[in-house]
Each structure stands twice: as C-alpha cells, then as structure tokens.
C-alpha cells in the first residue's frame, strides 16, 4: 500500500530508511527499549515496531525500565513486555542476547533509567528512533527528527520510506495510532500540517478503530485516578497570575491516598491550561524517591529551554519534563523562585 508514502515527503531521508531496511533484512534478535515512565507514544512505538518486526520474521522483545501504565495495557502485545522492575534477570538476558537494540522515544541513555548500562552494552547494533530535541552523539543508526509529532508517526514514516509497509498490520497500526493520538493531545498540538492528517487517515485504512482506542485511553480510568485528578485541581493547584502560571505539587503520600499507579497523573498537567490567563503549567510529582517535573505551555512560550537551563531536563517547546534532586516541596519553591527567568524566555 503506497498511500502512506504519499504523505511522508522524504522524511526520514532515504539513507536512514535504507540502513533500517538493511538491518531488518539481516534479521537477528532485537530488543526495543522505551524511556523511563513510558507514555502512550513510547509504549505504542515499541509495540508497533515489534509487530512489524514479527511480520518480517524477526524475534523481538520489548523491555521496559519500569511498569507500563494500566491504561495502555489494551494494546496488543502488551502482555508480552518484560518489566525490568519485576523480571530484572530476564530483561538483562534478553538484552545481552540481542543483536540489535532499539532506543525508542528517547535520545540519551540516562532516559531509560536502570536500563542505562544494559542499553549501552558494547558490541551491539543500536538504532535510535526518536523525535526529541538535541540528541547527543550516538554510536549507531540515528533516526531522530523533531519535525514529527511523535515517535509513532516517525515509525510509520520510516516503514513506508523503507518500502516495508507490507509488514504493517492492524495490531501494528493500532499501537502506532495510540502514540500519535496521545502525543498530540488528541490532535490538539504538534500536528498542524495537512500531510499529517493524510498520513493518519492512511494509517487508519489498516482497520484502526479510532473510537475504541479513544474509549480505552480516556474512559477506563480507575476511581482512584479520577479522585486524584480532582484532588490535584481542587486542593493542590496554585495559580500565580503575575507569571501566567499554574503549579501543582503532589508528594508520594498524597498520591498513595488515591491508590496511585503508574500513569495516574498522566494528563493532569494539561488541565490548568484551560484556565483563561494561564500559559504555563507545572506538575511536580514524586515516585521511587525521585522528583519529576512535567512542564506544559501554550503559544511561543518555550518550556524546553527552561527545563534544560535550570533543571535536568528538556523536550519540546510546549511539552517538556525534568528531574529534580530536591524533594517535592523544595522543588516547588525553587521553581516559583525561577518564574521571572521563565518569562524572559518568552518569544
């Protein structure tokens, strides 16, 4: 089916597609690794690629640095993923025996948490498939393009440009659609080009059920997740009007009050942006003794520069994340002290 290729416009470029096609033709055992705290794009990309490789006769395993969020477990093949937190030895053995290691939806080894060393084992063919900014030097095939909406979109393009679209299946297309849907906020941002919608429409010709996927992602939340969202907005959201900013800080004890599970805070950071006058939103959370900051903005307000300059982070202009070496309360205090610097980055 050439319909998808009609919209790829040579991205990724021919040399990357040819190298990827040659590696698929060579076969072997592949391991696909997403970033820590995997989201819809990471899980969708890993499983979508795994289905495509299986259609090519390649044995592939998806190895997670930590737990897959419950709301993504409807994706075909999710039950076959290896969780390093649960099965560390099986995960390490799979990586050691792999001929090819794919870094999926991240561009720096420290983004895959406890799998940083295994993911960087010497003597392995490595492939990076990612859409985040400023990738560092990489000892393998780098397929990294910030112009696309998501890593899932990039994989659709890559498969088409490598003339491997015959390997696309309903299962693969559905997994990749999940990542495209979630990383664009339901087609709300990072997807303004008409060709993008042509590509998505072409992907849906493989039988993707958009309504069913939307239902699984948005309408199967646990009671605890819904109550946690309400608590975050009603009790923890602080609006700082002079900086057009919302800050929500949730410590581990507060999250556990609502039987927190990985993925339960997904999307909360976007909600304050619906408030008139709010242009920046920050969500500070604590998990596994680590403090994480999710950053969102609207318009020409770059949070990625703020994340990389003042915290250990980065990402996209309107959607970034960072780690903090401080606890939740101290991170919130420092962030608010830095808000004058945030406004200086406005374009």
Per-residue pLDDT, averaged over 134-159, amounts to 96
Of the candidates 184, 124, 113, the one whose C-alpha atom is nearest the C-alpha of residue 151 is 184
Checking if the pLDDT of 121 tops 80, the result is yes
DSSP H helix total and E strand total for the chain: 13, 12
Confidence of residue 347 (pLDDT cuts 50, 70, 90): low
Please name each of the domains of the chain with its CATH number: 4-218 (3.90.1640.10), 224-344 (3.10.310.30)
pLDDT more than 70, % of the chain: 99
Residue 271 pLDDT greater than 60, yes or no = yes
Range with the poorest average pLDDT among 161-165, 204-208, 269-273, 343-347: 343-347
**Tokens standing for 56?**
């090519």
- pTM (whole model) above 0.75: yes
**How many other CB atoms are there within 10 angstroms of residue 54's CB atom?**
17
* pLDDT of 20 strictly over 80: yes
pLDDT at 203: 97
CA 173 to chain centre: 17
Average pLDDT over residues 115-143: 95
Q: What is the pLDDT of residue 189?
A: 85
Question: Regarding beta strands 290-297 and 280-287, do their DSSP bridges make them parallel or antiparallel, or are they unpaired?
Answer: antiparallel
User: Which residue shows structure tokens 């084992």?
Assistant: 121
pLDDT, one tens digit per residue, over 160-206 is: 999 999 999 999 999 999 999 999 989 988 898 999 999 999 999 99
DSSP string, 192-250: -SHHHHHHHHHHHTT---HHHHHHHHHS---HHHHHHHHHIIIIIEEEEGGGTEEEEEE
Q: How far is CA 71 from the centre of its chain?
A: 14
In the block, residue with structure tokens 């830095």 = 338
- Mean pLDDT for 207-217 is 97
- Give the tens place of pLDDT for each residue, 35-91: 999 999 999 999 999 999 999 999 999 999 999 999 999 999 999 999 999 999 999
Structure-derived torsion over alpha carbons of residues 176, 164, 118, 144, reported in degrees to the nearest 10: -70
Measure the CA angle with vertex 149, ends 276 and 143; round to 5°: 150
């Amino acid at each position: 089916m050439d319909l998808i290729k009609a919209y790829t416009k040579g991205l990724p470029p021919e040399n990357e597609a040819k190298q990827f096609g040659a590696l698929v033709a060579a076969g072997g055992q592949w391991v696909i690794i997403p970033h820590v705290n995997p989201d819809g794009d990471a899980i969708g990309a890993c499983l979508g690629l795994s289905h495509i490789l299986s259609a090519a006769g390649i044995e592939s395993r998806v190895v997670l640095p930590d737990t897959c969020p419950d709301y993504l477990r409807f994706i075909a093949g999710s039950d076959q993923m290896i969780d390093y937190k649960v099965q560390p030895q099986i995960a390490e053995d799979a990586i050691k025996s792999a001929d090819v290691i794919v870094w999926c939806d991240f561009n720096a080894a420290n983004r895959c948490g406890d799998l940083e060393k295994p993911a960087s084992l010497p003597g392995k063919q490595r492939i990076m498939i990612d859409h985040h900014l400023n990738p560092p030097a990489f000892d393998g095939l780098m397929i990294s393009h910030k112009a696309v909406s998501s890593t899932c979109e990039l994989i659709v393009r890559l498969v088409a440009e490598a003339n491997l679209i015959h390997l696309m299946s309903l299962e693969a297309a559905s997994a990749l659609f999940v990542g495209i849907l979630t990383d664009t906020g339901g087609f709300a941002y990072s997807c303004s080009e008409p060709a993008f919608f042509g590509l998505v429409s072409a992907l849906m010709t493989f039988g993707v059920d958009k309504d069913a996927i939307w239902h699984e992602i948005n309408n199967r939340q646990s009671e605890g997740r819904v109550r946690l969202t309400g608590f975050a907005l009603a009790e923890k959201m602080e609006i700082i009007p002079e900086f057009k900013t919302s800050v929500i800080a949730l410590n581990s004890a507060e999250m556990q009050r609502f039987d927190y599970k990985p993925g339960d805070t997904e999307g909360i950071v976007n909600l304050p942006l619906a408030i008139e006058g709010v242009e920046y939103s920050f969500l500070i959370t604590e998990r596994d003794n680590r403090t994480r900051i999710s950053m969102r903005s609207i318009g020409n307000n770059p949070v990625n520069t703020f994340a990389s300059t003042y915290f250990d982070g980065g990402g996209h202009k309107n959607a970034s994340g960072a780690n903090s070496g401080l606890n939740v309360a101290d991170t919130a205090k420092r962030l608010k002290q830095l808000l004058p610097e945030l406004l200086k980055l406005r374009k």
